[in-house]
Structure 1
């Protein structure tokens, strides 16, 4: 496996409020990656659970279960092999918090679907788009032989 494809033992997905993008990425990665890969998520600050996230995850057979958003500061173990940031403020925070650590930080710019207005179907489509893009990125990044 090439260096860029080596699977980290522990991955943190970090976004603004740990309500949409990072918990969605966590659920997808837990499903896609081997069970011995530790995956979690957090936010720069805590938000509230978003019911649209659960709805679009259930469409593909996944769930957040009883999981609630939490902040980076609440993590029991703050060391990860890889931190994937999904929002600009999360990326800046991760770089600042890890500047003296040997932790890889990757930025995957991901749209925040919570600003979409209109019908329920239009909002769900925005959340589905985020889900599908995150799933695709996780597969491309961590699956050997996947096209770049």
Structure 2
């Protein structure tokens, strides 16, 4: 969700790559739906781990900043600072997975997480430069 929002808000002036502690094949459908409400397409995005990035040839040392959205990703990012010069920021974003019983309750939880990410991005990087 965060990668798609960064690209939509700030274009391609900065290279952005989303990574997690564990890789999955597809982005969560609720994440796709709530970003689509803002006109941000996540279709075609995949979730990969830091290890996947290294295996696929990404130079983790070329990144300046890692924004961790969970305690587990913060720990993994801090581990990387032993080998790479990276700045790590932790943004405590609510984890919407597993919240709510009905579809609309789940969508509300994902919207809240999306809006938390959007607020943190604007606080950190300024108002979006893209329409």
User: What's 2:14 paired with?
Assistant: 37
Distance in 2 separating the partners of 1:31 and 1:131: 13
More strand by share: 1
- Equivalences, count: 121
CA contact (8 A) 2:27 2:42 kept: no
Q: CA RMSD in A?
A: 1.4
User: What's 2:37 paired with?
Assistant: 59
Distance in 1 separating the partners of 2:27 and 2:84: 31
What SS is found at the alignment partner of 2:18? strand
User: What's 1:131 paired with?
Assistant: 114
If the length of structure 1 is used for normalisation, what is the TM-score? Answer: 0.76
Distance in 1 separating the partners of 2:28 and 2:43: 12
Question: Following TM superposition, by how much is the alpha carbon of 1:96 offset from its aligned partner in structure 2, in angstroms?
Answer: 1.1
If the length of structure 2 is used for normalisation, what is the TM-score? Answer: 0.86
Q: Tell me if 1:74 matches 2:55.
A: no
The gaps in structure 2 that reach 5 residues or longer are none
The gaps in structure 1 that reach 5 residues or longer are 1-23
